[in-house]
Amino acid sequence: MKDIYIQLLRITQDGIPFTSRPFKDAAAELNISEEEVVDLIKKMQSEGIIRRFGASIGHRVLGITANAMCTWNVPDERVEEVGKIMAGFNEVTHCYERPRYPDWPYNLFTMVHSYTKEDCIRTAEDISKATGIEDYKLLFSEKEFKKTGIRI
């Protein structure tokens, strides 16, 4: 990996300023233009070094403290179709397929965030109605221990 990629990842891994010129500091530190910083990020994405460059919101700070992992038993042949529907809900931040196990039949997982547990339950009910999937479980978060991205 190019040295400048590693430098840029180190500079931005803890976040960038919330300003009209968010790449100004990174550009100054790398001694390149802000446009070149953006071009480097795009190049890293196109080369598959990073998947995306986006905002991460501290939802607990905003009062969104009810978090439910919804596990769904979806027929294998419907996973793509149902996953797209589930991912389309604004309250769903993650939607992914996992393997089934003999004692755990659930293969599709969605993470739902809201202000109350009742809102999470209501969202799961709405998802169930929209997809026709009635076999699901909600697992609520009790405590957040750590939330960071990969570090360089």
In a domain, 111, yes or no: yes
Which DSSP letter does residue 62 get? Answer: T
Counted domains in the chain = 2
**Tell me, what CATH number does 113's domain have?**
3.30.70.3460
Range of the domain at 28: 3-46
In a domain, 58, yes or no: no
In a domain, 83, yes or no: yes
Pick the closest to residue 70 from 55, 82, 56 (CA basis): 82
**Interatomic CA distance for residues 108 and 100, integer angstroms:** 9
Pick the closest to residue 111 from 71, 151, 58, 55 (CA basis): 71
User: How many residues are there in the chain?
Assistant: 152
**Interatomic CA distance for residues 88 and 148, integer angstroms:** 25
Task: Give the pLDDT confidence of 27-55 residue by residue, as tens digits.
Answer: 999 999 999 999 999 999 999 999 888 87
- pTM recorded for the entire structure: 0.68
Task: Tell me, yes or no, whether 39 and 73 share the same domain.
Answer: no
In a domain, 115, yes or no: yes
Task: Tell me, yes or no, whether 93 and 122 share the same domain.
Answer: yes
Q: Return the percentage of the chain with pLDDT > 70, whole number.
A: 95
What is the Cα 47 distance to its own chain's centre? 21
Q: Return the percentage of the chain with pLDDT > 90, whole number.
A: 72
Task: Tell me, yes or no, whether 73 and 132 share the same domain.
Answer: yes
In a domain, 13, yes or no: yes
CA-based torsion, 110, 126, 117, 119: positive or negative: positive
Task: Give the pLDDT confidence of 60-106 residue by residue, as tens digits.
Answer: 677 777 899 999 999 999 999 999 999 999 999 999 999 999 999 99
